């Protein structure tokens, strides 16, 4: 992590733009946590500075479905303006918090942003980004897409590589968007160069499908990681799980527990369930009798099932 931190501090300090921390207050932090919004104001800015001036460094992102309660909206924090150096302790604590949250359902640390835009203008632009993505990603919330959630962002970033410039083009006003992925690597989404702006780019159907099943994919990924059953290279792990989830749906399984059993058994035991006569029949039986796949596969394993050991 120190390697990441040293390089991250250098990246942030080399920039002559505004640097921001984006947090999601839907995950509350305890009062004693130094990275909470109130404590950032108290401990990481000039103690002699006017309190009101410090408060002006933090604004809520007024996503339309939560704007009635700004305390639960995401918040954007100006951690260094164009003429300031980044506080390495603040950056280190935010990175440490992000790492500790990786497999929580809701994460507080969302991203670190570099932008020419001033604070309030960038906050407004982030709302527009969420509204525009909601029209393309076709998730349950049709008013605002919470793209800033690190897991959703990783899905967006890694699954749409056939159109690599699509995502950076959506992040208007942002020169660099940085987030911590599930392998604890800092990933950077870079604003396209002027000569890269032209050309066809879109969100793929596969990427849209991943977003529709993001919660289920996350739960599968978390389960496999906790059981140390994912052995593919880091940059392929998440998409491998996401693809297998879509496979479960394509087979005709409609029950959530059956879909989960399909993915976990396929990847836990490294077996193609649709390429083994007995397991294929178990899947077909579950299509006819939803909710039975987990038990049926368990019975097969106990009776010397195929290659599964």
| pLDDT exceeds cutoff 90 at 258 | yes
pLDDT-derived band at 195 (thresholds 50, 70, 90) equals low
- Nearest of 230, 219, 226, 165 to residue 191 by alpha carbon: 165
Sheet containing 18-24: order of strands: 58-60, 74-80, 18-24, 109-115, 176-180, 186-190
Angle at 72 between CA 68 and CA 78, to 5 degrees: 110
Q: Mark out the alpha helices in the chain (DSSP H runs).
A: 2-14, 37-43, 51-55, 88-100, 119-137, 150-159, 166-170, 205-212, 214-226, 234-250, 256-268, 277-288, 293-302
Q: pLDDT over 90 for what percent of the chain? A: 56
| Alpha-carbon span 112 to 131, nearest angstrom | 20
Residues 25-36 pLDDT 10s: 999 898 889 999
The pLDDT value given to residue 140: 58
The pLDDT value given to residue 308: 47
Residue bearing tokens 């006819």: 288
The pLDDT value given to residue 55: 80
To the nearest 10°, report the CA torsion of 264, 244, 216, 161. Answer: 140
pLDDT-derived band at 309 (thresholds 50, 70, 90) equals very low
The pLDDT value given to residue 281: 93
The pLDDT value given to residue 69: 85
| pLDDT exceeds cutoff 50 at 109 | yes
The pLDDT value given to residue 46: 67
The pLDDT value given to residue 103: 92
pLDDT-derived band at 2 (thresholds 50, 70, 90) equals low
Q: What's the mean pLDDT when you consider all of the chain?
A: 87
Q: DSSP string covering 118-168, please?
A: -HHHHHHHHHHHHHHHHHHH--S-SS---TTSHHHHHHHHHH-GGGTTHHH
| Cβ atoms of residues 5 and 95 within 8 Å | yes
The mean per-residue pLDDT over the stretch 39-66 comes to: 79
Residues 168-184 pLDDT 10s: 999 999 999 999 999 88
The pLDDT value given to residue 95: 94
Q: DSSP string covering 238-254, please?
A: HHHHHHHHHHHHHTT--
Count, residues in the chain = 309
- Nearest of 169, 157, 175, 165 to residue 12 by alpha carbon: 175
| Cβ atoms of residues 133 and 147 within 8 Å | yes
Residues 203-235 pLDDT 10s: 888 899 999 999 999 999 999 888 876 665 566
10-14, 51-55, 97-101, 254-258 — which is least confidently predicted?
A: 51-55
| Cβ atoms of residues 214 and 151 within 8 Å | yes
* Greatest mean pLDDT among 2-11, 143-152, 170-179: 170-179
Residues 48-60 pLDDT 10s: 566 667 688 999 9
The pLDDT value given to residue 66: 82
| pLDDT exceeds cutoff 70 at 6 | yes
């Amino acid at each position: 992590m120190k390697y990441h931190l040293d390089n991250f501090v250098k990246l942030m300090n080399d920039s002559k733009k505004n640097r921001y921390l984006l947090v999601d207050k839907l995950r509350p932090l305890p009062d004693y946590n130094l990275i909470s919004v109130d404590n950032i104001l108290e401990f990481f800015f000039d103690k002699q500075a006017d309190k009101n001036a410090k408060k002006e460094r933090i604004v809520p992102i007024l996503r339309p479905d939560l704007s009635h309660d700004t305390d639960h909206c995401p918040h954007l924090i100006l951690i260094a303006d164009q003429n300031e150096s980044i506080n390495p302790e603040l950056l280190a604590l935010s990175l440490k918090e992000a790492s500790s949250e990786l497999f929580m359902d809701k994460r507080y640390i969302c991203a670190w942003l570099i932008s020419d835009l001033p604070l309030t203008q960038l906050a407004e632009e982030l709302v527009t980004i969420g509204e525009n993505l909601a029209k393309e990603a076709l998730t349950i919330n049709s008013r605002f897409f919470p793209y800033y959630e690190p897991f959703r962002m990783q899905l967006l970033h890694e699954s749409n590589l056939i159109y690599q410039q699509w995502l950076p083009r959506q992040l208007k006003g942002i020169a660099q968007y940085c987030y911590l992925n599930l392998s604890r690597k800092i990933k950077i989404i870079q604003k396209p160069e002027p000569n890269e702006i032209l050309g066809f780019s879109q969100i793929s159907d596969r990427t849209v499908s991943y977003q529709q099943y993001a919660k289920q994919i996350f739960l599968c990924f978390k389960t496999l990681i906790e059981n140390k059953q994912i052995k593919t290279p880091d940059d392929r792990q998440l998409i491998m799980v996401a693809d297998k989830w879509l496979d479960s749906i394509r087979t005709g399984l409609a029950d959530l527990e059956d879909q989960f059993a399909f993915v976990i058994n396929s990847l836990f035991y490294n077996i193609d369930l649709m390429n083994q006569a007995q397991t294929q029949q178990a899947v077909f039986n579950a299509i006819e009798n939803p909710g039975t796949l987990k038990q049926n596969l368990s019975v097969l394993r106990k009776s010397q099932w195929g290659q599964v050991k």
